[in-house]
Structure 1
């Protein structure tokens, strides 16, 4: 039994570890719940450890502190630096590449640099000079080295090297000598000069076996005197090469994982990433999961080493575990969500611009002032679009915008930004400001704009109104058909939906996931301004209705009247165990998966037992009990979802045509669930909440 807490990005599960032994008879659920307060507990974390887009990652340890870097492509500043003390809770502290000063395309001057810039790169610390170094390829001409004495910065450019260190993995040997493993399919190792300014030598050290299909993403280690190059076969495999002779080999290979089921329903297989140890000598593997439309998100799993010096991933039931024990005592940090009112004189480190900004066209302090920096009708060509990662699997961004300084022809607003985009905002035409919602902003696979957008809805602003709240609520859980909803308010309290739901593009070829983005650009002439008073990102619980059930997901089913959830009594796995309502504790006996029976009907499978909801004895009578039973796909085990107001639904049994109900409008724990004639009462209305979210509002 587990109690899941999800304070935004901090992933914690409390699991009973005493009082139960293998093969023991489970006590009644009520007794277990009563005993929980006095039972020894162990804290566990839930994957992904950060449900935000942080791809091509590397994690290192310096003393008792962990640092994380990843790719950012065309976003500026690049190569974010995160910090943690337990490998689970993370915070932004800076960027290794302060500005993408690699040519006019990165400034959106005459060209664009979409899906260029910061690819997989490497950050390491050298104790001998107490300095952090970042190494990465930019374009296909050269590589760059940045350095800092504090991982939070300031970082400065240190060197340009005329070699292409594609998917670089930096290693400092015991004597401080720097090496870089790099390449695709044919992996090379370069020795750099002691000052990391020039290349001393480079040798080909290994070639991809034919069976691997493709190989890249090098990470380079020296562990117990052996040299290891950790590589990925995207998107479904991870391999490690070992040399006992030195950094230039020879190397032999072992498989770490291939086609291993991941911990996110609908998501990909964890791969690429980094090995890292704890001060206690325990090892972990942090890989990323393809989870579009949200991007690529990190997951953590323990690793052990066998006697021959090869790492072995610790699986859970043949898969990458959804939960594991914390690597170290939990060290909570401020969440990666929350509000920014832009005090001070600099942006917080979680902000990144779409390409380099025009620094003369924005100011920070008493809000964020955005002056128009580009005259264009194409958002993809507009400078000074500021982005923030979306918290998955669902979250809401709310922007408070003072638009009193807008000029004729200006557009300002809040976008869901990717190669297929949509936005809500304010346009000013002929002296009149209006609220609009646009979609249909598109790019082709060469990142040329193919659509500048179509207005789908508009609303008038009050004549005296210059302040507006803009909101985007997005479900970025993996898979097709995920949507964002746009709304607005003129008082900050009552929000009105504007335009149709926008279906997000989940194709991976853009590499980066969707981001929230605030913008202000001109279509006629420069000179207008807006002030962003506040930008708030809040995690929320993604819900499902009749047309949006994900058969890969697990759901908690919440009654509208009582707020309690469906629960298999006593955590029983026996046929005939009663369905009750109970306060949510996130036990697996409160988690259900929808199994498609065809014709819009589903069986509801309990996670702990594998059994399904069943109307007792095929009854068609009111008040017939609902229990769990082995799945035989009978019509008394099949239910359809009938929509009710405000995102709720009724569960209608196929055999009887009756609805699943909490009798007597009870709010008591342990009340047995029955079927009753469908009359639409709130005690017959339910909401689906994806597993992993407690105490959060729905989007």
Structure 2
């Protein structure tokens, strides 16, 4: 049955407090009534953006999770809402589906490009996992459907570009930036079409001692001139934004450093209906991931000048956020009415889901996860349901019914990355135990075990990203009101093998016999934690 009203009220009061639904989650300290950076303190990297009329649209990298290639919408460049995804599943391959010992951690789909041309929206991406370039198109990015085209090879960090004569190109590559013409239907590279390097050794604009070659192409035509945004990373320095310009699409291009402050870089230019200009970029921000910053842009001698006196401002001359991250994350009681989508947009599966082994209808009002095979650990488990953590602090609480676990099953609530941690329940024969596990050394270690003599337990995970603290704490409750910490704090670490910020994750996996199941209820997120500064 669903949670008793008294217990549900206690959990909600603990999590969000009075009036919390009316305030933005994870909104940085306000400066009067002005918006502040970061505009979203959560993992939204490799930004691509456009304005269509009075509306702004943004796409982002989501790597291996499904659905993927998110589309976000805003009316003011500050408040963003998820409105859809370009795909449910990128492709059906073993690595993308956690099959046959393969995985796509650090892979999947990478940086995207977003365009609006002749009444059609286009969003594109590429994948080293599949070796393909993907183009999705629709008339309505909120309702879809998205039509898919894919071709080989995988064009790295490309930018889709339509010239005034209708010809289509992709600008792509790292170090040497290349212009490649596409077929008129975008089905692939045009035989005999333009295919040439337009910016050789683009990294040299930032100096000789370069670690990350210039990449992250975003190309725009503004007032008849071509502007190419790139990023590079000098050794011992920081992620750096570059701008190149040319009077012809094929060049020659001249370049300069556009911004070198706080590592805020990679993204594109966007203008407002009133003629103001901004760059939507991101910053590597530790375990929470890569978070978006909005940087004002002025024009001098035909060049976009980013920042205020070369710095990224803390406050913006835009109204303060009323939404925070509530547009991209969300609580879920798993109750579904007629016509409701199966899962809110905030949720994404770790790799492609196995649909026959999860359900919201077998026990209405609950998320049921059923094991379909035996796995060694959390990173191998299929049907792990995730959404972003966020800063400066965030927490998640969920109710778990473990009455139907099989011997050897493990289920719970995790902080998911390569060096993960979780609080959960392990079944041993007919007995149940609460467990806290961490994988700080890339292999899971059971830190604490406590007996569990009931079928329902409440689990809590708190994340503290203040001052790059990057700490997660775990707790459980037997009544939804009184909590006990378990195990030890997890030092969260952003690892390149996963290349994603930490995520809240609901999971179950079998270590001995598949077929057991658990039911999750009342997943609640908050920007409040009990941990001290």
Counterpart position of 1:425: 424
1:52 aligns with 2:42: yes
CA drift at 1:331:
6.9
Which residue of 63, 67, 72 corresponds with 1:82?
72
Structure-2 separation of matches of 1:382 and 1:507: 19
Counterpart position of 2:523: 535
Counterpart position of 2:486: 498
- Structure 1 unaligned segments of length 5 or more: list them: 16-42, 263-268, 444-450, 544-646, 648-687, 689-699
Which residue of 461, 467, 482 corresponds with 1:472?
461
Higher RCO structure (Cα 8 Å, ≥6 apart): 2
Which residue of 467, 470, 475 corresponds with 1:487?
475
Which residue of 236, 239, 243 corresponds with 2:242?
239
Q: How many residues align?
A: 489
1:348 aligns with 2:344: yes
Structure-1 separation of matches of 2:529 and 2:127: 38
CA drift at 1:14:
5.2
Q: Is the CA contact 1:97–1:155 (under 8 Å) kept in the aligned structure 2?
A: no
1:406 aligns with 2:405: yes
CA drift at 1:191:
2.1
SS at match of 1:339: coil
- Structure 2 unaligned segments of length 5 or more: list them: 1-21
Structure-2 separation of matches of 1:454 and 1:206: 49
Structure-1 separation of matches of 2:180 and 2:335: 45
SS at match of 2:96: helix
Counterpart position of 1:148: 138
Distance 1:232-1:347 versus aligned 2 partners, 3 A rule: same
Distance 1:329-1:392 versus aligned 2 partners, 3 A rule: closer
User: Following superposition of structure 1 onto structure 2, how do residues 206-225 of structure 1 map, counting pairs within 5 Å?
Assistant: 206-208=199-201, 209-210=203-204, 211=207, 213=210, 214-225=213-224
SS at match of 2:379: helix
Q: Is the CA contact 1:353–1:385 (under 8 Å) kept in the aligned structure 2?
A: yes
Structure-2 separation of matches of 1:527 and 1:59: 44
CA drift at 1:485:
0.8
Which residue of 294, 297, 301 corresponds with 1:303?
297
Structure-2 separation of matches of 1:173 and 1:9: 40
Counterpart position of 1:7: 24
SS at match of 1:227: strand
Offset from partner CA, 1:520-553 (integer Å, 9 cap, x none): 111111111111112111112696xxxxxxxxxx
Q: Is the CA contact 1:55–1:288 (under 8 Å) kept in the aligned structure 2?
A: yes
Structure-1 separation of matches of 2:423 and 2:320: 43
- TM-score, normalization: structure 2? 0.87
SS at match of 1:75: coil
Distance 1:529-1:483 versus aligned 2 partners, 3 A rule: same
Counterpart position of 1:455: 446
Which residue of 360, 370, 382 corresponds with 2:356?
360
Structure-1 separation of matches of 2:530 and 2:86: 34
Structure-1 separation of matches of 2:422 and 2:292: 28
CA drift at 1:71:
0.9
* Larger gyration radius, structure 1 or structure 2: 1
CA drift at 1:484:
1.0
Q: Is the CA contact 1:468–1:489 (under 8 Å) kept in the aligned structure 2?
A: yes
CA drift at 1:177:
3.1
1:525 aligns with 2:500: no
Counterpart position of 1:249: 251
Distance 1:273-1:305 versus aligned 2 partners, 3 A rule: same
Which residue of 105, 116, 122 corresponds with 2:113?
122
Structure-1 separation of matches of 2:419 and 2:389: 16
Structure-2 separation of matches of 1:399 and 1:440: 22
Q: Is the CA contact 1:369–1:530 (under 8 Å) kept in the aligned structure 2?
A: yes
Q: Is the CA contact 2:44–2:292 (under 8 Å) kept in the aligned structure 1?
A: yes
Counterpart position of 1:178: 168
Structure-2 separation of matches of 1:12 and 1:285: 22
Structure-2 separation of matches of 1:153 and 1:529: 34
CA drift at 1:407:
1.6
Structure-2 separation of matches of 1:373 and 1:186: 46
